Amino acid sequence: MKCPYCGYQDSKVIDSRSADDDEKIRRRRECIQCRKRFTTYEAVEYIPLMVIKRDNSREAFSREKLCSGILRACEKRPVPMQSIEEMVNRIERKIQNSFDREVTSDIIGEYAMEELKKTDEVAYVRFASVYRQFKDINTFMDELNKLLHSD
């Protein structure tokens, strides 16, 4: 690590500790040449995830957008905010672990439906009706029948 005072290329680490809720590591260093001390921070570099939408356009993955869709489905339902946060965390982790840099919106929607189905069936049907864009009452009833017979 280059010294900010004299520009020397070598330093030694004197102390390390976590910072920002374990998201970063704070290191106190000492320059080998001028003996002055300075602080550096080390953090994981996240590669932005791109979402391929149905019209083949691309946009950056938005945790907030996912959360608002799930919130809308859970509106006026007995689903605690903590459960919604945990669902979003699981979906985001699944996406980060399964895909390199791009994921389709269809896959994100399927993951959201899986989580909602385990949490609240009414919220699941609400989300599915928007996500799957039911054309008529028959396709809606088909989805309800699948839900009834999956148990």
Q: pLDDT (tens digit, 9 = 90+) per residue, 62-74?
A: 999 999 999 999 9
* Per-residue confidence (pLDDT) for residue 10, from 0 to 100: 95
Q: For the residues 75-92, what does the mean pLDDT come to?
A: 93
Q: Which amino acid is at 137?
A: I
pLDDT tens column, 1-33: 899 999 999 999 999 999 877 879 999 999 999
Continuous segment of H or E residues that includes residue 102: strand 102-104
Q: Are 19 and 26 in contact (CB under 8 A)?
A: yes
Q: For the residues 139-144, what does the mean pLDDT come to?
A: 73
pLDDT tens column, 118-134: 999 889 888 887 877 66
Q: Are 127 and 113 in contact (CB under 8 A)?
A: yes
* Per-residue confidence (pLDDT) for residue 97, from 0 to 100: 85
- pLDDT category at 85 given cuts 50, 70, 90 is very high
* Per-residue confidence (pLDDT) for residue 100, from 0 to 100: 77
Between CA 16 and CA 148 the distance in angstroms is 55
Between CA 30 and CA 33 the distance in angstroms is 9
Q: Are 73 and 67 in contact (CB under 8 A)?
A: no
- pLDDT category at 146 given cuts 50, 70, 90 is confident
In whole angstroms, how far apart are CA 63 and each of 37, 52, 90, 115? 39, 15, 11, 15
Between CA 1 and CA 34 the distance in angstroms is 14
SS3 readout for 9-64: CCEEEEEEEEECCCCEEEEEEEECCCCCEEEEEEECCCCCCEEECCCCCEEECCHH
* Per-residue confidence (pLDDT) for residue 44, from 0 to 100: 79
